[in-house]
């Protein structure tokens, strides 16, 4: 196994043959319109070194035909996402695009910038703000609007403002209600597993190139640097709520359980600008991302787009979003919104139609295709989402992961299943010989499935690893969805080279912004239940700097925290918020904190240790394509 990517096979070359896709040629003009300036070097520094480098994607030339290792439709999207710079959207509003997977938008207020979605990481947001200031004239940031609770729309906030400016009232932070809860729930409670899975979805460890990473569909790539978070100072709580932000009127539309659990669209009534957040973009979105998340409500999502059209479209001159390029003109915006609305409704209704005929998610995913009218638009093509995966998300939301067949109700784990399949096939050599014939016939999906049994039986079987990697690779080359391509190519890379070394994982960028409740809920997920069998203790935890008292109870191998004192605790613990953050981030222990005078205990110190000394440490690089 030489570890290098293979060529496209003849089956893949035929599948990826360059052809006229019949898509709207105006996308190129839209993606380029209003370009004013570009980052002077295209390279952005972050906390871990270079966070972003546009030169990595110089191999994607505008107008060039796709290589045989990239689907022609995905290649078109990759070319569009390669267009980068600061763009004028309309007089008084600009976007920096192509320096993060998401966009950052600058609105001219009376005294400063209103920043919409400050990207994923500080360095990218900082350099984009500098690009705007250098090109348009320097202004202070007077407000930041988070459109929703995903990291790529708030993680770079420290690049455009500071906690001190926010605390002093010099900068407002506006977000949809429940933003902080949902950001923490998704990025911390499940964050360690999600971060690992996100490496497959976004493919940051796959080298850019025609046989490697070309795009993420929703944008070019994710920047490599840690995110941050400043909590909102103002919540949007209802549709129709209006704020005047630095002299600019904005009317908001709440869209919970759409693309994110907490999300909002908004309209600038004096300017005719409509922001559709990430509820509309120039691709079919995920109804559940392959990195993992709550299954999204496709029916509500479709209805929110319909509501936005009813509320705002007739008065809209330009529509912009958190990813991709804008749309100009009321007629174009109305048509765009209608087709976006219909796409998500089609997937929802047709999935449930066939589910009510008794078909399983696997069967429905093979049956349903998008009508032809959706195939002529980039914005209804699955570069980020994927129709088959979205079907399963709709099914899951209504009927769970279980397809109703008792044979699938309590299946054996992969390693045990693998051993039995290999035995059934007559041994690993026989199974691999059969799989090789399937590979030679271009049946890559079957090869990927069946050879996986050998890998999970014997991870050291290099022939199995290479054959499954080769099948993953061809599936990746053929994928129109960037996320599917990234997942397949990441799987192939890890089969050939092994998964990255395990290391302790933490998400400090979020911890600083978390409430005591959120920190303790995250600690509860880390509890090593087997260590505290039979332990039952209650402590009062006094968080002095917040003037809060919490009852923390360890009971029946579970950890609970509520904001009220116990009448008769086993102990009272005195801490501050910073220490709780350090404990949650595994940067110190309770024993060390007590010794250093950062914590004090009245009563049974053993009760405090029972609560804080049995917290697990997670590792970020667990195996996925092997046991």
Distance CA(582)–CA(577), nearest Å, equals 9
Q: What digits encode the pLDDT tens for the residues 360-388? A: 999 999 999 999 999 889 999 999 999 99
Give me 266's structure tokens. Answer: 């908004």
Q: Taking all residues of the chain, what is their mean pLDDT, rounded to a whole number? A: 96
Count of alpha carbons within 13 angstroms of residue 110, beta-carbon side = 6
The answer to whether the beta carbons of residues 275 and 371 sit under 8 Å apart is no
Q: Specify the DSSP element, H or E, that contains 212.
A: none
Return the pLDDT at 537: 98
Give me 21's structure tokens. Answer: 């896709």
Distance CA(600)–CA(617), nearest Å, equals 24
The answer to whether the beta carbons of residues 292 and 197 sit under 8 Å apart is yes
Q: 556: alpha, beta or left, given left = phi > 0 and alpha = psi -120 to 50?
A: left
Return the pLDDT at 184: 84
pLDDT at residue 267 is higher than 90: yes
Read off the pLDDT of each residue in 434-454 and give the average, rounded to a whole number. Answer: 98
Return the pLDDT at 586: 87
The confidence band for 508, taking pLDDT boundaries of 50, 70 and 90, is low
Of 181-185, 227-231, 528-532, 588-592, the least confident = 181-185
pLDDT at residue 588 is higher than 90: yes
Distance CA(505)–CA(507), nearest Å, equals 7
The answer to whether the beta carbons of residues 177 and 262 sit under 8 Å apart is yes
Q: What digits encode the pLDDT tens for the residues 278-318? A: 999 999 999 999 999 999 999 999 999 999 999 999 999 99
pLDDT at residue 168 is higher than 80: yes
The candidate with the shortest Cα–Cα distance to 68, out of 206, 207, 211, 203, is 211
The confidence band for 619, taking pLDDT boundaries of 50, 70 and 90, is confident
pTM of the entire structure? 0.96
Distance CA(40)–CA(45), nearest Å, equals 13
The candidate with the shortest Cα–Cα distance to 483, out of 389, 571, 618, is 389
CATH 1.25.40.880, the chain: domain bounds: 411-497
Domain at 34-396, CATH from 3.40.1790.10, 3.30.565.10, 3.60.15.30, 3.40.50.880: 3.60.15.30
Return the pLDDT at 503: 77
Buried b / exposed e over 247-261, threshold 16 CB at 10 Å, is ebebbbbbbbbbbbb
pLDDT at residue 507 is higher than 70: no
Q: What digits encode the pLDDT tens for the residues 535-570? A: 999 999 999 999 999 999 999 999 999 999 999 999
CATH 3.60.15.30, the chain: domain bounds: 34-396
Using DSSP, state whether 558 is helix, strand or coil.
Answer: strand
pLDDT at residue 595 is higher than 80: yes
Give me 226's structure tokens. Answer: 């840690």
Q: What digits encode the pLDDT tens for the residues 449-478? A: 999 999 999 999 999 999 999 999 999 999
Distance CA(243)–CA(594), nearest Å, equals 47
CATH 3.30.1050.10, the chain: domain bounds: 508-612
- End-to-end CA, the chain: 20
Q: Which CATH superfamily is domain 411-497 in?
A: Alkyl sulfatase, dimerisation domain (1.25.40.880)
pLDDT at residue 442 is higher than 60: yes
Distance CA(328)–CA(314), nearest Å, equals 12
Of 18-22, 183-187, 249-253, the least confident = 183-187
Instruction: Give the distance, in angstroms, between the CA of residue 546 and the centroid of all CA atoms in the same chain.
Output: 32
Q: Which CATH architecture has domain 508-612?
A: 2-Layer Sandwich (3.30)
């Amino acid at each position: 196994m030489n570890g290098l990517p293979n060529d496209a096979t003849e089956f893949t070359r035929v599948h990826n043959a360059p052809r006229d896709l019949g898509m709207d040629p105006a996308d190129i003009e839209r993606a380029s319109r209003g370009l004013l300036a570009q980052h002077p070097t295209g390279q952005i520094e972050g906390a871990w070194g270079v966070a972003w480098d546009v030169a990595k994607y110089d191999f994607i030339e505008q107008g060039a035909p796709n290589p045989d290792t990239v689907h022609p439709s995905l290649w078109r999207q990759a070319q569009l996402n390669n267009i980068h710079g600061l763009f004028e959207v309309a007089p008084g509003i600009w976007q920096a695009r192509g320096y993060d997977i998401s966009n950052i938008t600058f609105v001219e207020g009376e005294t400063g910038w209103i920043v919409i979605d400050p990207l994923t990481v500080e360095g990218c947001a900082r350099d984009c703000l500098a690009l705007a200031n250098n090109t348009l004239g320097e202004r202070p940031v007077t407000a930041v609007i988070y459109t929703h609770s995903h990291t790529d729309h708030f993680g770079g906030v420290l690049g455009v403002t500071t906690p001190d400016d926010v605390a002093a009232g010099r900068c407002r932070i506006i977000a949809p209600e429940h933003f902080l809860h949902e950001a923490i729930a998704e990025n911390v409670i499940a964050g360690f597993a999600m971060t690992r899975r996100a490496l497959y979805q976004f493919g940051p460890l796959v080298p850019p190139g025609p046989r490697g990473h070309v795009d993420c569909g929703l944008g070019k790539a994710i920047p490599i640097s840690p995110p941050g978070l400043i909590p909102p100072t103002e919540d949007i709580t209802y549709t129709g709520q209006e704020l005047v932000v630095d002299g600019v009127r904005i009317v908001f539309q709440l869209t919970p359980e759409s693309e994110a659990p907490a999300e909002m669209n908004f309209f600038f009534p004096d300017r005719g600008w409509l922001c559709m957040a990430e509820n509309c973009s120039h691709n079919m979105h995920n109804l559940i991302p392959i990195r993992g998340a709550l299954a999204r409500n496709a029916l509500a999502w479709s209805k929110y787009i319909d509501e936005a059209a009813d509320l705002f479209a007739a008065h809209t001159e330009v529509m912009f979003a958190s990813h991709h390029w804008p749309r100009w003109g009321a007629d174009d915006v109305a048509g765009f919104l209608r087709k976006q609305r219909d796409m998500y409704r089609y997937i929802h209704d047709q999935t449930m139609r066939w589910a009510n005929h008794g078909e399983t998610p696997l069967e429905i995913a093979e049956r349903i295709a998008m009508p032809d009218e959706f195939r002529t638009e980039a914005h209804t093509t699955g570069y980020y989402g994927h129709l088959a995966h979205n079907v399963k998300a709709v099914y899951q939301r209504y009927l769970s992961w279980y397809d109703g067949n008792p044979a699938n109700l309590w299946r054996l784990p992969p390693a045990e299943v693998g051993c039995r399949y290999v035995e059934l096939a007559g041994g690993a050599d026989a199974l691999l010989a059969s799989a090789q014939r399937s590979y030679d016939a271009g049946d890559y999906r079957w090869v990927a499935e069946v050879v996986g049994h050998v890998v999970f039986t014997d991870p050291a079987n290099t022939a199995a690893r290479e054959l499954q990697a080769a099948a993953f690779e061809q599936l990746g080359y053929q994928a129109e969805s960037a996320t599917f391509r990234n997942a397949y190519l990441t799987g192939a890379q890890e089969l050939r080279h092994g998964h990255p070394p395990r290391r302790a994982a933490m998400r400090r960028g979020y911890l600083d912004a978390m409430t005591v409740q959120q920190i303790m809920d995250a600690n509860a997920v880390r509890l090593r239940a087997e260590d505290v069998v039979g332990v039952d203790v209650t402590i009062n935890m006094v968080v002095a700097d917040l003037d809060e008292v919490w009852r923390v109870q360890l009971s029946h191998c579970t950890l609970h925290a509520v904001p009220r004192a116990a009448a008769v605790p086993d102990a009272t613990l005195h801490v501050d918020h910073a220490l709780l953050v350090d404990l949650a981030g595994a940067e110190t222990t309770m024993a060390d904190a007590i010794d250093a005078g950062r914590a004090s205990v009245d009563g049974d110190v053993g009760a405090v240790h029972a609560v804080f000394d049995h917290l697990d440490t997670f590792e970020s690089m667990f195996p996925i394509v092997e046991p």
